[in-house]
Amino acid sequence: MIQREGTDLSAPQVGWRAGVLGLGVLVLLAGQVADTNDWFPLGSLSQYATPRAADGSVVSTSLEGTTLDGRVVPVPLSPASIGMSRAEVEAQGQRIIADPGLLGVLARSRARLHPDAPALSELRLVRSEQRLRDARLVGPTEVRVLATWSAR
């Protein structure tokens, strides 16, 4: 018997625990080697950590609004801010571009979630692109407005 912190474990009990641990490690290792997200959360986490080409670009989607007094404010892409996550907004990007009125839904959601925040007269879906050369930023950030909703 093996004694551990006042608990006696028999050889079969230790073997059972070691077997479960070994099986878990094998599943995690197989998921990483297979490089598939089909086994998530036991598989690859590549969707969260993918390398960028040393000579390429980094693209980021964001929302920015204009308040009634003309100030431009960032609108976070989060459920707490607009009721949707960044991934959900990005997945609907083409629909939003085709129908900018969908940004009005996000503006109204923001107003409901933050009744004390300044009201928006306009909301824009924006894409920023930063170019890389030898893994270093080069040149200015290119900002493009993809869709605009206006309360008017």
pLDDT tens, residue by residue, 86-112: 989 999 999 999 999 999 999 999 999
Domain boundaries, the chain: 1-50, 57-150
Tell me the C-alpha distance between 46 and 31, whole Å: 11
Provide the Cα torsion 112, 80, 77, 151; round to 10°.
Answer: 10
pLDDT tens, residue by residue, 50-85: 666 788 888 999 999 999 999 999 999 999 999 999
Copy the structure tokens of residue 6.
Answer: 């006042």
What is the per-residue pLDDT for 54? 81
